[in-house]
Chains A and B, each alone.
Chain A
Amino acid sequence: MTAPAFLQSADADTSYAPPKTTKGRVEVRGFGLTYDTADGATDAVSSVDLTVEPGEFVSIIGPSGCGKSTLLNALAGFLKPTRGVVTVDGEPITGPSADRGMIFQQYSLFPWKTVRENVEFGLKMKGMGRSERSRAARTLLGLAGLTPFENHYPDRLSGGMKQRVGIVRALATGPRILLLDEPFGALDAQTRLIMQQILTNMWQRLKISVLFVTHDLDEAIFLSDRIYVMTARPGEIKAEIAVPLPRPRLPAMTMSSEFLALRRGLMSLIREESLKAMGGELTADGLQGLAINLEGQDVFRAL
């Protein structure tokens, strides 16, 4: 990995600049989503209220299967809410749009397009001409330090590099909101830290709203202004926690007492839910193997 500071050389070429907006307010009210399965209707998300203010970085954490991805997919426009309303700047979401860029956990670069063609895709869909969009893509790739790879096909890139290109691609169309669904989940710990810094740098420059889904507490604290904690399925908001850490955030902050205090608080919140998500019978005692009292007998006889 090179050039951790994304968009560091912004003064190098300013012929392309994504439109700066102060819009991008996400509002979710009474959101619920029910799946029809063979066993009847299953609630994936029961009732969620949340807000992302323009330019705010908000994370959602919760145990696996709590419906956080479902919520994000509804925001992207892939799923219709069964109950409640999801609006962006006051307008209800009717379907996917380039206004809401999305980054997936799985690498989603088009393997048949080069890095530059991938970045150009959204602009092409907007009807931008060939030379214009190529210039725009080159500028963006230059700012992201990806110029040497512009003519590579994605399968020659590392995982971190693929995600970087994915982020640049999503930002190329100048979205108001960026939705990220565990984008760094598949990366190794070192690459993940660098990607987090790249993302924060980028977000601070672009001033767009970000909704970030993760199950990594450190990641959520390091990146966010606010964190929503979701309960086990059917998911709802269990807690909303502000992160008062100053910006810019530096890796050293993860060792600060404030950070660790936040982490402890979040940990206990999420732990209860994770235990619930793993099965109703698993209590804290059960986890430690203290639920059954063997009274000195050996295990086989006890069973």
Chain B
Amino acid sequence: MGIPLNIDWHQILLHLFNFIILTGGLYFLLYSPIKKFIEKRDAHYRGMDSEANEKLDSARELEEQARERLEKIDQEIQEKRVKAEAELSEYTVKRMKEAQDKADKLISDAKASANEEKRAILDSVDKDIISITKEAAAKILHVSTDEAYSQFLDTAERDEGDGK
């Protein structure tokens, strides 16, 4: 019995045989190697992506650590600053006290020295005054003696002239 439309089982099987060969060949020659390459490239980029993510995570971790360290360092700096300021103020007070004491001592020494000098100067002035006075008195006395003697002599001469 003839099959309509010239359907031939023998040729159908030949077509199947041909198609199976083609599909197998295309699988081994094209599909499989291209797919493997695509998967390899995907794996490569996934690896790069995960590596980048790991690096990013470690960078974030490092950043966090650095931030914590910075905070700690800031805190330490703050503590040291407070301590230094306290020490500085203590030292300043101490230094000021020392300076004040020194100044007081200098002033008292200066005062004593000045008084001594003043006394010495006054003594010296007194001696000078005395000597000057003596000199002046001597000079006064000398001048008056000479004048009196001269006056006497003048008077005597005038008397002798008058005949007295």
The answer to whether A and B belong to the same complex is no
